[in-house]
Amino acid sequence: MSPEKMVTMANQIATFFKTQPGDDQLDRFAAHINDFWEPRMRRQLLDHIAAGGAGLEPLVIEAAGRISEPVE
Amino acid sequence: MKDFIIPWNDADMGTPAKTGAPVTLTIDGAAVTVPEGTSVMRAAYEAGITVPKLCATDSVEAFGSCRLCVVEIEGRRGTPASCTTPVAEGMVVHTQSSKVQKIRKGVMELYISDHPLDCLTCSANGDCELQDMAGAVGLRDVRYEPGDNHFDPTGTGALSMADAKRREGDGNFRYIPKDESNPYFTYDPAKCIVCSRCVRACEEVQGTFALTIEGRGFDSRVSAGGAMDDFLSSDCVSCGACVQACPTATLQEKSVAELGTPTRSVVTTCAYCGVGCSFKAELNGDQLVRMVPYKNGKANRGHSCVKGRFAYGYTEHKDRILSPMIRESIDEPWQEVSWEEAIGFAAKRLKSLQKTYGRRSVGVITSSRCTNEETYLVQKLARGVFMNNNTDTCARVCHSPTGYGLGQTFGTSAGTQDFDSVEHTDVVIVIGANPTDGHPVFASRLKKRLRQGAKLIVIDPRRIDLVKSAHIKAAHHLPLRPGTNVAVVTALAHVIVTEGLMDEAFIRERCDWNEFLEYAEFVSAERHSPEATEMLTGVPAETLREAARTFARGGNGAIYYGLGVTEHSQGSTTVMGIANLAMLTGNIGRPGVGVNPLRGQNNVQGSCDMGSFPHELPGYRHVKLPEVRETFEAAWGVTIDPEPGLRIPNMLDAAVDGTFKGLYCQGEDILQSDPDTKHVAAGLAAMECVIVHDLFLNETANYAHVFLPGSSFLEKDGTFTNAERRINMVRRVMAPKAGYADWEVTQLLAQAMGADWDYAHPREIMAEIASTTPSFAGVTYERINELGSIQWPCNDSAPEGTPLMHVGGFVRGKGRLMVTEYVATDEKTGPRFPLLLTTGRILSQYNVGAQTRRTANSTWHEEDVLEIHPHDAEVRGVKEGDFVKLASRSGETTLRATLTDRVSTGVVYTTFHHPDTQANVITTDFSDWATNCPEYKVTAVQVSPSNGPTDWQERYNEQAEQSRRILPAAE
C-alpha cells in the first residue's frame, strides 16, 4: 500500500491508544498491530520506521521494538 | 420428491395471544385453561373448536364487526361475539345452538348478497375464508333479489363478473374496477366484505396507516391514501400484511392469480436483511408461487416487508448464469465450460500462483449472503487448503467495528437482545440506522412499541421516517453533522455522569469501578459538554441534554444502531461509546434494554461467527492462540498459519503492490460495494486469477477469470444467523439450477486443490462447527428443527440457546468502560469540496441491488438520486430532477438531484443500489482506525449541474459491456 496510507492507518491507531488511560499504551498499540496487521503490512511499517519513520506519530516509532517481526 | 413440509401449527386462532393468570372455562362441554384476557374465540380454538369468523384474525386485535362468531354464554343475555368477549373463570360457552346457527346463516346470506358468485374462477378459490364460512354455517340459498351492489359493473342484476361480461347496461356507480397499480398484488373492491382486516393490519402490524375505510354503512370502502391515490401512489409500503390479512380475493398476490393456489409449503429464512424473517415458501411442485411470512418465526412474528415477501423473482431471472465460465484474460469474452473444466482451471491457476508468488499470495472473500455452512467452508479453504489466513467478508465494510467495539467492552461480538425485547423497552435510541428502510420488519415492531408510549431518540444527520410519521414522533432528534458520532455519544455520557444520572449500583456490581472512575474523570471534562461540542456537531446543547436525561431516566433503555455508526474513521470508538452509555445507565442483561446492532445482510452475523475474519478462527478466537489452532488442526489435519491474514482493503493494496494475485470471491460484489471504486478496480485488474462465485455477472466479474454459478437461498439447505444471533434454518425448496449448491462448489474447488473434504450434506458441516466452536457446541439440525431456531451461545449450560446476553455478568467478566476521545476525520470539507456526502439505503432496494434490481421493486426506485437541501441546490443552480455532477477527491459521477429538507444544509445523501451511479467512485479510502471498515458515511464533495454521464461512467460501462461477452458453448 502507499506509504501515506500506511502512515495514516498507523497514526489513527496510535491516536486511539494515546488517549487511553494507564501506562501501557505502547503495549496496547503494538498488540493491536500484531493482532490485525498481516506480515507484509508489519514488514512495510517496520521498514518505514527503520528508514526514519517519516510522518509517523512518536508513539508508533517508540513502539517499534514491540511489533513482532513477521513470520514467513 | 422428498417431502419438506414442516408440520408445525400456524393456524389462525382468531385473536392474538395474551399473557395473564390462568382462567378455566367450559366450551361445548370441554374444560380449557387460558391466560386472562384471552378471547372466547381463541380459548375455543385451544379446546379444538373452531368458531366461524370473518373479521377476526390473530395478527390484529379483535374488532367485532362481522357478527359471525357469536356464541351463547350461560347466564349472559344475548349472543356476544366470541372474538371481543374475554374469558372469565367458570364461564360456560356454547358455540353451536340453533339460535347462533340461525344468526350466522343470516349474516352470511347478507354478505353473499353483495358478493359476486365467481368462486370457480376466483384467484382465492380454495383459499377463501368467505367460501369456507358459507360452507361452515350451512348457507344453501340466498333469498335476496339482485339490487344495489358493489360488484356488477353493468347494473343489470348480474350475479357474477363472468355473467356481467356478457351483459350491457347503464353501469353501476358503486362498482370500482380492480386496482392493479402495485406490481405484486391487486385490490378488487368488488370482492371486498369490509371486514377491515387490511386496514387494521396496516395500522397494527405494519404501522404505516396507508389504508382506511372511507364512507359509512353501505358506502364503506377500503381506500389507500387520499382520494386521487391508487395503491402504488399511496403511502403503502407493499409489506403484504393487508394481503395476508384479507379473507377473500380482494387483496391478492398476482402470482397466485397467475400460477394457482399453492399446494405445499416449506418453512425457510429470508435472504435479504439481518432481521432474518421466517417465511413459508409456498409452491406447486418446484414452482414457487408465493412467500408468506411464517407466524412462528421468532424474528418477524408473522410480518414481512416488500423485499422478503415479494422480491424473489431474481431467483428465476434470465440474467442468472447457469453454466461455469472461464477466460485466459479479462479482455477476452467468457467461454462456457463444464464444472470439471472450470474447477480444474481455477485450481491449477491458484496452485501455480502460490508456487510463483508464495503461500500468502491468494485469498478468499466469504459471503454474508450465503449460509453459515458455506461461509465456514470458504474460510476453511483459505486456512486449510491455501494455508494462510487471507479470508475476509463484507462485514469488513459494515459491522467489523461492532465486532471490535463490543468485544472490547462486553466480551462478545454480537448484539445483546432478541427482537422480542423491544416489546419491553421504554426509551429507544436509534443512531445511524434507518430501520423503516433498512430493517423494515424490526421497524414495525419498534413502531408498535412507540405507539404504546415508548419514547424515541433519533441521532441521524437526516430526518428519517422514524423522526415523524403516522402516529409516531421522536421525542428528540439530534441532527448531527456526519463524522461527529463520537462527540455526540460522549456528550450524552457527559450529561449522564455530570448530572448524576448513572446507575451506580449497576456499575459497582457489573463493571470495574476503578475503570469507571478513570472514565468518569475523562467524560466529565468540559470539552465533552454539549455546549462545548455544539459548534462541532451541530446538535443544540439543550436538545442533547434533554435526550440524555430522557434516556437515563426513562426506564428500560435500548440502543439500536446501524452502519451510520460503524462506517466512520472512529466507527469502533462510537461502538464503544454506545456500550458505555448502556453500562452507565444499567441497561444490559434484561428484556427491553441492550445494545443492538442492526445487521445489513442476512448472514453478516453468521459470516463473522464462522471465522471469516483474517485474524479469527470460528467463534471469534484469534489465530495467534495455539490452543485454538490445535482444535482446528486436529479436526482438519493441517497446520494453521498463526499470523493474521489480509483484510479486503489490504488484499487490494497488496494486489496493486503485486504480492496478492488470486481471489475466490463468493457472493459479494466488491467492485460495486466497496469504497473508492477506482482503487478496487486497479486491485482486481492486477490479479491473475479472480474467481467470482455468484448468481449474476456482477460488477466484480468484469475483472474475473473464472465464473462459478451460485445457487439461490431456495436451492440449498443450511442456516443463516440473524442480528439476534438466531440460527435459522434455510431449507431447499428446489434443486440448484446450475447443478450444485454453493457449499458443493467450494468443496469441489478444495478437492481439486488436493483436499480430502467429503461432506455429503450441510448437516455434517454444522456438526464440525459444533465440535470445534464452543458457542455452537449444542447446535444440530435436529435441535434447530425441534426448537424452530436457536440463539447462540448454545451449549451444555444453555441447551436451548441464549435470547439475552450478559444476564448477571458480562461475558468478559467485568464490563469495561472505554475512554472515547473524539478525533475529527481527515475527510474535511474545504473550498473545493464544501459539502458532506453520506450514504444509505431505501426500502425497496437491497444493498448493491443485484437481487432487487431484477424484480419489480425497481418500480419504487429506478435510480439512485442525490438528496440536497434546497438552499445548497439554489446557490448551485440545481433544480428538482436535474442531472448533477458529484465530485470528491477520489472521483466523480453523475446522478439526478432531488431537493429536500430531510438533509441539513451542507449535507447531501444518496443510495448505492445501482451500478450506473457508482456512488463508490466518490467514497474515499479512509477507514475505521481499528478495523479498516471504510468511511462510507463521510465524504467531502462538490455538486454542480451536469449534462450527463462522466467520462469515467462511460468508460466503465464500455469496459463492463466488453467484459460480459459470452461465447456460445463449444459444440
What pLDDT, in 10s, does the model give residues B890-921? 888 999 999 999 999 999 999 888 888 777 88
- B614 contacts in A (CB within 8 Å)? 38
A35/B644 CB distance under 8 A: yes
**Whole-number pLDDT of residue B2:** 40
For residue B92, the cross-strand partners are: B26
- A3 contacts in B (CB within 8 Å)? none
- B386 contacts in A (CB within 8 Å)? none
Q: How far is CA B578 from CA B86, B97, B574, in A?
A: 43, 61, 6
- Which of A12, A16, A38 is the closest to B646 by Cβ? A38
DSSP letters for B137-177? TT-----PPS-S-SS-TT-S--SSHHHHHT---S--TT---
**A46 Cα to chain B: minimum distance (Å):** 16
Could you tell me if B724 and B619 lie in one domain?
yes
User: Domain residues of chain A, as ranges?
Assistant: 3-66
B645/A71 CB distance under 8 A: no
- Which of A12, A19, A38 is the closest to B644 by Cβ? A38
pLDDT in tens, B94-112: 999 999 999 999 999 999 9
Percent of chain B with pLDDT over 90: 88
Inside any domain, residue B816: no
- CB count within 10 Å of CB B411 equals 18
- A21 contacts in B (CB within 8 Å)? 518, 522, 819
- When the pLDDT of each residue in chain B is averaged and rounded to a whole number, the result is 94
Assess A35–B contact: CB distance below 8 Å, yes or no.
yes
**B742 Cα to chain A: minimum distance (Å):** 28
pLDDT classification of B226: cutoffs 50, 70, 90: confident
pLDDT classification of B232: cutoffs 50, 70, 90: very high
- Which of A7, A16, A35 is the best substitution to test chain B (most B C-beta atoms within 10 A)? A16
- Which of A19, A38, A60 is the best substitution to test chain B (most B C-beta atoms within 10 A)? A38
Residue B226, burial from CB neighbour count under 10 angstroms (0-12, 13-18, 19+) = exposed
B657/A1 CB distance under 8 A: yes
Three-state DSSP at B846 gives coil
| Range B233-260 average pLDDT | 96
- B389 contacts in A (CB within 8 Å)? 38
**Whole-number pLDDT of residue B678:** 87
**Whole-number pLDDT of residue B1:** 36
| Range B601-617 average pLDDT | 94
pLDDT in tens, B730-762: 999 999 999 999 999 999 999 999 999 999 999
**A4 Cα to chain B: minimum distance (Å):** 11
Could you tell me if B487 and B586 lie in one domain?
yes
pLDDT classification of B513: cutoffs 50, 70, 90: very high
Residue B624 maps to which CATH number? 3.40.50.740
**DSSP state for residue B384 in the 8-state scheme:** I
* Sheet-wide strand order for B718-721: B718-721, B726-730, B789-791
Amino acid at B204: E
Q: Report the C-alpha gap between B400 and B966 in whole angstroms.
A: 37
**A44 Cα to chain B: minimum distance (Å):** 11
Could you tell me if B545 and B620 lie in one domain?
no
Length of chain B: 971
Decide which of B758, B791, B824 is a domain's last residue.
B791
- For the ranges B78-87, B194-203, B542-551, B808-817, the lowest mean pLDDT is seen at B808-817
Could you tell me if B386 and B404 lie in one domain?
no
Chain B residue with the nearest C-alpha to that of A69 = B643
Helices (H) and strands (E) in chain A, counts: 4, 0
Check if the beta carbon of residue B647 is closer than 8 Å to that of residue B614.
yes
Could you tell me if B757 and B621 lie in one domain?
yes
- For the ranges B256-265, B585-594, B822-831, the lowest mean pLDDT is seen at B822-831
Inside any domain, residue B803: no
What is the Cα gyration radius of chain B? 29
Assess A13–B contact: CB distance below 8 Å, yes or no.
yes
- A71 contacts in B (CB within 8 Å)? 642-643
For residue B427, the cross-strand partners are: B455, B557
Inside any domain, residue B147: no
A13/B929 CB distance under 8 A: yes
**A20 Cα to chain B: minimum distance (Å):** 6
**A13 Cα to chain B: minimum distance (Å):** 5
Burial B840-879 (b: 16+ CB within 10 A, else e): bbbbbbbbbbbbbbbbbbbebbeebbbbbbeebbeebebe
Assess A52–B contact: CB distance below 8 Å, yes or no.
no
**B503 Cα to chain A: minimum distance (Å):** 23
- Which of A13, A15, A36 is the closest to B615 by Cβ? A36
User: Across B430-444, B843-857, B922-936, which has the greatest mean pLDDT?
Assistant: B430-444
**A61 Cα to chain B: minimum distance (Å):** 17
Q: How many domains does chain B have?
A: 5
Could you tell me if B371 and B429 lie in one domain?
no
B823/A15 CB distance under 8 A: yes
Could you tell me if B292 and B235 lie in one domain?
yes
**A24 Cα to chain B: minimum distance (Å):** 14
Question: Is the peptide bond preceding residue B7 cis, with omega within 30 degrees of 0?
Answer: no
B643/A71 CB distance under 8 A: yes
pLDDT classification of B672: cutoffs 50, 70, 90: confident
- Which of A5, A38, A39 is the closest to B925 by Cβ? A5
Check if the beta carbon of residue B959 is closer than 8 Å to that of residue B701.
no
B360/A40 CB distance under 8 A: yes
Residue B384, burial from CB neighbour count under 10 angstroms (0-12, 13-18, 19+) = buried
pLDDT classification of B8: cutoffs 50, 70, 90: low
Please provide the distance, in angstroms rounded to a whole number, between the alpha carbons at the two ends of chain A.
19
pLDDT at B842 over 90: no
Chain A residue with the nearest C-alpha to that of B644 = A38
pLDDT at B971 over 60: no
Q: Report the C-alpha gap between B750 and B351 in whole angstroms.
A: 11
Could you tell me if B369 and B406 lie in one domain?
no
Residue B52 maps to which CATH number? 3.10.20.740
| Range B299-326 average pLDDT | 95
- B569 contacts in A (CB within 8 Å)? 12
B643/A1 CB distance under 8 A: no
Q: How far is CA B441 from CA B112, B306, B311, B490, B728, in A?
A: 36, 10, 15, 30, 16
**Whole-number pLDDT of residue B969:** 64
**A45 Cα to chain B: minimum distance (Å):** 13
Domain that holds residue B457: 400-597
- B821 contacts in A (CB within 8 Å)? 16, 19
Q: Report the C-alpha gap between B9 and A63 in whole angstroms.
A: 62
Could you tell me if B577 and B611 lie in one domain?
no
Q: Report the C-alpha gap between B551 and B282 in whole angstroms.
A: 44
| Range B258-272 average pLDDT | 95
B932/A35 CB distance under 8 A: no
- A8 contacts in B (CB within 8 Å)? 826, 926
The helix or strand, by DSSP H or E, that contains position B785, with its residue range, turns out to be helix B781-787
Could you tell me if B615 and B557 lie in one domain?
no
**Whole-number pLDDT of residue B244:** 96
- CB count within 10 Å of CB B216 equals 7
Inside any domain, residue B229: yes
| Range B646-669 average pLDDT | 96
B819/A21 CB distance under 8 A: yes
Tell whether ipTM is more than 0.95. yes
Q: Which of B947, B937, B89 is nearest to B570 (CA)?
A: B937
Sign of CA dihedral A57, A58, A59, A63: positive
**Whole-number pLDDT of residue B5:** 46
pLDDT classification of B3: cutoffs 50, 70, 90: very low
Could you tell me if B647 and B772 lie in one domain?
yes
Could you tell me if B633 and B494 lie in one domain?
no
Check if the beta carbon of residue B299 is closer than 8 Å to that of residue B729.
no
Helix axes B530-537, B485-498, angle to 10 degrees: 170
